[in-house]
């Protein structure tokens, strides 16, 4: 009896969500039904410390996340939604110091991105935003051996944050 009530409740929720005019999916997004296209512009790296491919990697990471988690078509011109911005921070700092030494036992790589999201279908502008997102990963040892994999991990976290803020209202 309890399982059938749970199933009925779930079906009712899906029915109401379908009729609201906003598309809800199990990927964490709620994209307006009339939104069809998105434009992701190149995110230039203007951080004082530069990792050569970071701008390209972040831009492609955001495009890939949108491609994998939404039905939106990516275009290079006018679009229903637009992402643009810059990478403002790329920092490596000590996170923990070894006992009886001045060396870092643990370091932290932090990446900060300033994102402007414009929903061109929302005449009120309430769903558009300009916001800064920061993520980091801690690591032991030299950064050169791990920098690429750390960047991949942090970009995944950042693109998830940006996607959720734009399409899940988080």
* pLDDT band (50, 70, 90) for residue 168: confident
Average per-residue pLDDT in the chain?
Answer: 84
Single out the residue of 120, 125, 126, 129 nearest to residue 164, CA to CA.
129
Residue 14 inside a domain? The answer is no
Residue 28 inside a domain? The answer is no
What is the pLDDT at residue 16? 41
pTM above the 0.95 mark? no
Residue 139 inside a domain? The answer is yes
Indicate which CATH number applies to the domain containing 140: 3.40.50.10610
User: Residue 71 pLDDT more than 90?
Assistant: yes
Q: Which domain holds residue 53?
A: 34-167
How many structural domains are present in the chain?
Answer: 1
* pLDDT band (50, 70, 90) for residue 96: confident
Q: How far is CA 112 from CA 1, 39, 45, 47, 144, in A?
A: 51, 21, 10, 9, 19
Residue 20 inside a domain? The answer is no
Residue 123 inside a domain? The answer is yes
Residue 23 inside a domain? The answer is no
**Residue 154 — φ and ψ, nearest 5°?**
-70, -40
Residue 27 inside a domain? The answer is no
User: Residue 15 pLDDT more than 70?
Assistant: no
């Amino acid at each position: 009896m309890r399982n059938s009530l749970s199933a009925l409740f779930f079906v009712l929720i899906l029915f109401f969500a379908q009729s609201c005019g906003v598309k809800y999916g199990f990927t964490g997004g709620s994209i307006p039904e009339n939104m069809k296209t998105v434009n992701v512009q190149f995110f230039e790296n203007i951080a004082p410390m530069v990792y050569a491919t970071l701008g390209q990697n972040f831009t492609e990471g955001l495009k890939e996340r949108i491609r994998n988690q939404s039905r939106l078509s990516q275009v290079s011109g006018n679009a229903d939604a637009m992402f643009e911005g810059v990478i403002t921070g790329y920092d490596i700092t000590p996170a923990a110091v070894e006992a009886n030494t001045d060396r870092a036992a643990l370091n932290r790589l932090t990446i900060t991105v300033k994102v402007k999201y414009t929903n061109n279908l929302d005449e009120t502008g309430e769903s558009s935003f300009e916001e800064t997102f920061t993520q980091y990963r801690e690591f032991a040892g030299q950064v050169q051996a791990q920098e690429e994999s750390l960047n991949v991990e942090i970009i995944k976290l950042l693109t998830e944050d940006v996607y959720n803020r734009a399409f899940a209202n988080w």
